Copies of this chain bind each other. A is one copy, B any other.
Amino acid sequence: MFIAMNRFKVKKGSEHDFEQVWLTRETHLEDVPGFVEFQLLRGPERDDYVLYASHSLWRSEKDFEGWTRSEAFRKAHAGAGANKPLYLGHPEFEGFTTLQGISAEGA
């Protein structure tokens, strides 16, 4: 499995606008080959921002890379530049692979 994460430092006062951009967008993700799951996460509050992360799970890194070169990706990110003033700096991208997984009994 491959996890693609983007971290956003959202300015205090812009949390609602940032969430609305994500919650109302068309993701076009459901039918992308190798896509497993997406989550929008709200993280800790710091002095001047709230940390958010977009978190998507893929069958493999190759599937994720295929998506970033697809028409679905282009559509999902159309207009993303318009939202820049909502967060500090650039989103930080980090890709992860699973080394060990443990599940609850019966899960």
Which residues of A are interface residues toward B (Cβ below 8 A)?
A: 3, 19, 22-23, 27, 29-31, 35-44, 51, 53, 55, 94-105, 107
Contacts and interface: CB of A to CB of B under 8 A. Distances in A.
Copies of this chain assembled into the complex: 2
A102 to B, nearest CB: 4
* Pairs A-B, 9 closest by C-beta atoms: A41-B96, A40-B100, A38-B102, A43-B96, A40-B99, A39-B101, A35-B104, A43-B94, A39-B98
B43 A100 contact: no
Contacts of A100: 22-23, 38-40
Chain A residues touching B, majority SS = strand
B40 A98 contact: yes
A43 to B, nearest CB: 5
Nearest to A101: B39
Contact of A44 (B30, B35, B40, B94): B94
Nearest to A97: B42
A19 to B, nearest CB: 6
